Amino acid sequence: MKPVKVGLLGLGTVGTGVVRIVEGHQEDLSSQVGSPIIIEKIAVKNSDKARSIQVDKAKLTEDPWEVIRDPEIDVIVEVMGGIEDTKAYILEGLERGKHIVTANKDLMALHGSEILAKAQEKQCDVFYEASVAGGIPIIRTLIEGFSSDRILKIMGIVNGTTNFILTKMSQEGASYEDVLEEAQKLGYAEADPTSDVEGLDAARKMAILGTLGFRTNVELKDVSVRGISQVSKEDITYAKRLGYEMKLLGIADREDEHVSISVQPTMVRKGHPIASVSGVYNAVYVYGEAVGETMFYGAGAGEMPTATSVVADLVAVIKNLKLGVNGLKAIVPYKPKKLKNDEQISFKNFILLHVDDKAGVLARITQVFAEFGVSLESVVQQPNELNPEAEIIIVTHNATKASMDKVLQHFEGLAVIRKIKSVYRVEG
Ligand SMILES: NC(=O)C1=CN([C@@H]2O[C@H](COP(=O)(O)OP(=O)(O)OC[C@H]3O[C@@H](n4cnc5c(N)ncnc54)[C@H](OP(=O)(O)O)[C@@H]3O)[C@@H](O)[C@H]2O)C=CC1
Ligand SMILES: N[C@@H](CC=O)C(=O)O
Ligand code: NA
C-alpha cells in the first residue's frame, strides 16, 4: 500500500477545502483507493500568510516548479487559478507523467484541447469536474451518464456569484454593489469579479459543457455573452410581476447539428425548475433526445462544495492508477463545428419601451413587429407614474434573432419611442 503523493498548487478557498477533505476523510478515501493519500507539497504565493487550517510549513513553497519537478509526486491538484503560467505548469507536469486535477475553467475553456491532447500523448488523466458548477458532478454526468443519448439542450445557472446577487436583489431589494461585496467575502467570486458579473466565467463553463454535450469543439469565441451589470431593480420587478425570475442563464442548444451557445440575463417562467434555483446554488438542465428533461442542482461555488468535486476527481485518478488505465479518452469532440446563424437562432423576447402617451403609438409599434414577421404573445400599456410618457411591455413568441435585431434597429429611428428601456430573452 504505497501512499499516493499529491502536489497542491494553491491553498486559497478551494485548496483549503481540499486539505480539509483529504485529511478529514482519509480513512474513507484510502479504503476506496487502496492506499493512503498524502499531500506532499503545496505551492502558495505567500508562505507567511495566516491560514485557517494548520499546515506543516515545510510543505509550503512559493515556487510552483518545485511541486511540478518533484519526482515523488504522482498527481498535481491545481487550484491556484491563472492561465498562461498555469498552463505551462500543467503541460510540464504531464510531460513528467503526472496526472492532473484542476478546478480552472479559465484554463480549460481556453486551452483544454491542447492540455487533453498532451494528456493523451502521455497516457495521463486530466480531470476538471470542479471547473463547472463547483459541487455538482455535471461533467461526469455528461461524459458517462449521457454517453448513450444525444443531447439537444443544456441550460445552466453556472455562476454562483451572479445567482447570489440576482437572488438578493429580487428577494431583499438589496443593491448590486452590496451583494457583490458579500459574495467576494464568502469566497464565491473570482479574483477579478468582472468575469463573474460580465458573464465571462459562465461563458467559459458553457464552452466546456457545450463541447462535452455536443461532441464538437466549442470555443470561448463561439459563446455570445452579456452579463448582469446592466440589470436594474426595475427589470427584476417587471420580471416578477409578469411571472418570471431573472437569471443569468447559459444556453446551449442544437438542431440538425447546428449549435448555438450564449450567456445572458434571462427571464425564466416561474414554473420552470431552473427558476427556483436561488442564492449561490447552480443548476444544469439537460434535455436529451432519449432521456427527455433532467436537472442537476447543488452549490456552484465555495470552499467545501468545490473541494468535494476536486477530491472526487483525485479518487478517480488514483483508482485508474491502481487499474493501470489512466489516459483513457473520455469524450472526443469529433463532430465538425457548425454554428447557428442569426436566422437559425430563435427565442421569446421581453421588451420594455418608454413611449409618447398619445393615440396611435401602440398601433405603430405592433406594425413594426408585423413588418418583420415577429408574432406577439402579449402587449401591455401602462402610464409611467413619474413621466408624461407610457410604458409598453411586450412579450414576443419565438422570433429569430435576425428579425428581432431588425425590429430593434427600426425602433431606434421611431420618433414615438423615447427609449428602448430593456430587452431580455425569455425561457420556460
Ligand atoms: N472559489 C470557488 O468557489 C471556486 C473556484 N474555482 C476555481 O478554483 C481555482 C482557485 O480558486 P480559489 O481557491 O477561489 O482562489 P484563491 O484566490 O482563494 O486561492 C488561490 C491560491 O493560489 C495561490 N497562488 C496564486 N497565485 C500563485 C502563484 N503564482 N504561485 C503560487 N501560488 C499562487 C494563492 O496563494 P496565497 O494563499 O499565498 O495567496 C492561494 O493560495 C480558480 O481557478 C477558480 O476559478 C472553481 C470553482 C469554485
Ligand atoms: N466565481 C465562480 C466560482 C465557481 O466557479 C462562481 O461564482 O460561480
Ligand atoms: Na462540477
In a mutational test of the pocket of ligand 2, which residue from 188, 247, 278, 304 has the highest number of ligand atoms less than 8 Å from its CB? 188
| pLDDT confidence tier of residue 331, bands split at 50, 70 and 90 | low
Whole-angstrom distance, CA of residue 260 vs CA of residue 350: 20
What confidence tens digit (pLDDT) does each residue in 281-292 have?
Answer: 999 999 999 999
Whole-angstrom distance, CA of residue 154 vs CA of residue 165: 23
* Residue 340: active-site member: no
Helices (H), 276-381: 303-323, 361-371
Whole-angstrom distance, CA of residue 73 vs CA of residue 98: 7
Closest CA to 90 of 117, 53, 59: 117
Residue 298 Cα to ligand 3 middle (Å): 9
Range 90-98 average pLDDT: 98
Of 41, 87, 205, 401, catalytic = 205
| Contact residues of ligand 1, CB 6 A cut-off | 10-15, 43-46, 49, 64, 79-81, 103-104, 130, 134, 187-188, 190-191, 301-302, 306
Whole-angstrom distance, CA of residue 392 vs CA of residue 379: 7
ipTM: 0.99
Residue 329: is its pLDDT beyond 80? no
Strands 346-356 and 417-427: antiparallel
* Residue 67 · residue 7 · CB < 8 Å: yes
Whole-angstrom distance, CA of residue 16 vs CA of residue 23: 11
Residue 213: is its pLDDT beyond 90? yes
For ligand 2, what atom is nearest to the CA of residue 188? 7
Query: What does the pLDDT read at residue 260?
Result: 98
Query: What does the pLDDT read at residue 283?
Result: 98
Whole-angstrom distance, CA of residue 235 vs CA of residue 247: 12
Whole-angstrom distance, CA of residue 89 vs CA of residue 64: 7
pTM, two decimals, is 0.96
Beta-bridged to residue 260, according to DSSP, are 253
> What distances in angstroms separate CA 180 from CA 4, 55, 90, 184, one per listed residue?
40, 31, 32, 6
Q: Find the ligand nearest to 228 CA.
A: 2
In a mutational test of the pocket of ligand 2, which residue from 161, 185, 200 has the highest number of ligand atoms less than 8 Å from its CB? 161
* Residue at grid coordinates 464565491: 188
Whole-angstrom distance, CA of residue 7 vs CA of residue 358: 70
